[in-house]
A = this chain, B = another copy of it.
Amino acid sequence: MKTGLDFLLAAKRCEIDGLQRLAFTATLVDVSARLVHQLQRERGLTNLYLGSMGQRFAEARAAQIGASRQVEAEWRAQFGRVDTGTAQAGHGARLFSRIAYVLQGLDGLDALRGQLDAQAWDTDRATEAYARLVAALLAVVFEAADSATDPEVSRRLVALFNFIQGKEFAGQERAVGAALFARGQSDSARQQRLLHLIESQERCLELFDSVAPPTARALWTAPHSSAPLAELERLRRVLYTAPHGAALRPELSQAWFDVCSARMDAMKLVEDRLTADLRALCGEKIAQAQAELASFGALSAQAAPDPLVFYLAPADPNGPAAPGATQGFALPLDRSVLELVHDQARRLQAMGDELEAVRASLNERRLIERAKGLLMAHRQLSEAEAHKTLRQMAMNQNRRLVDVAEALLSMAEVLPPR
């Protein structure tokens, strides 16, 4: 027969198990972010290569493909360690499904490179192909953030997700700009696309800023991080102010690529800091939870308290948590199992509430993305146009973007199938 203490201990072990899973997830997120970084470089160099009609950048591109392959092997090895035997419920299914999708993309990567070697695809198609694979990798990071069971870890994952997503928009900007310079001719459609990418970038970085821990934010706003920005803004100006069809100096393509890359490398450092901090945080939390578990274990030797205490105690476990309750960890000397059960219930409740709040921001993002996807599919819009349409609707109706997205999605069923 199991006792209350057995379940108290089991609840704590569940927490520890969740944290250990998160610590492993953090390593998966880390290697995914690194693979994204390599693919972004490969995309940029491929666009330079394609833009120069295969005349330049072949060597740099080949070297980069080697580097990408190395991190891809690492990614496959890390994800090969994922325990697909013992099933996890719910989010596990979603995460696995995202991983399966990434693997489809990685399996086709060499075939894609073959097409690009032969210059069979243009820069737009190349950019879109790499963006698709990067988006698949980002979806893995998104699910990791969404499935985290600890609110503090979840918040860090949300910060990281937004930062990587912002960096991806910066990467697409690099690719589109590189293609423009390399072609040597301005183009108003691509100028529009660049504006959209810059705006999306800034939106992600604002979200990052609102949830990131101070250390990572400080690193991102430090002078060496923002230094490339002045030169980047100068070249951005060159790109935007050129009228449609005007000549662009192809020799600027290298400068553009370099300054964009310097900025993205600075972003990579912030990412590295975020993932390292995340792993450290998981480690601390596991150690703390294990210390709590050990101290609970000592309780079993204690004499049973007054059996009536359950019916006499004034507190109720559904009541509001005491301030700092999520911090937890008071040594349970001379405390009854009932008090510990109350404390644990309060703390879990407070954690659940906090988690709910963090996940709400992810859910908003998901709704907006899906509403955009719906507009793109049904009205044949580009992503930039879909985003603009959604924003315009929100302004006209004086509603939040997420509310407009939700209203749009609720109409999805009555729209004709695409």
Contact = CB atoms under 8 A, between A and B. Distances in A.
A322 to B, nearest CB: 7
A314 to B, nearest CB: 9
Most chain B CB within 10 A, of A98, A115, A373, is at A98
Contact of A149 (B90, B107, B317): B90
Interface string A372-385: 01100100000000
A165 interface: no
A104 B312 CA distance: 12
Given A89-B14, A104-B338, A369-B318, A97 B7 contact: yes
A308 B108 contact: yes
A97 B346 CA distance: 10
- Copy total for this chain: 2
Number of chain A interface residues as a range: 35 or more
Interface string A15-35: 111100100000000000000
Contacts of A6: 84, 100
A240 interface: no
Interface in A91-146: 92-101, 103-105, 107-108, 110-112, 115, 129, 132-133, 139
B11 A94 contact: yes
A4 B104 contact: yes
A11 B93 contact: yes
B308 A345 contact: no
Interface stretch (A45-53, A74-82, A209-217): A74-82
A5 B377 contact: no
A139 B318 contact: yes
A105 B337 CA distance: 12
Interface string A311-355: 100001111101100000000000001100110110011001000
A230 interface: no
A18 B80 CA distance: 23
B93 A18 contact: yes
A7 B87 contact: no
A87 B17 contact: yes
A307 B111 contact: yes
Interface stretch (A56-64, A243-251, A264-272, A409-417): A409-417
A255 B8 CA distance: 43
Given A13-B87, A94-B348, 19 more contacts: A2-B82, A4-B101, A7-B97, A8-B96, A11-B92, A13-B84, A14-B92, A14-B93, A15-B93, A101-B345, A104-B310, A108-B307, A108-B311, A132-B310, A132-B311, A133-B311, A318-B373, A323-B413, A323-B417
28 contacts: A2-B79, A5-B100, A7-B100, A7-B103, A9-B84, A10-B96, A11-B92, A11-B97, A14-B87, A16-B87, A17-B87, A18-B93, A21-B89, A89-B149, A93-B149, A97-B344, A97-B348, A101-B338, A104-B338, A108-B307, A108-B310, A112-B308, A139-B317, A316-B373, A319-B370, A320-B409, A320-B412, A323-B413
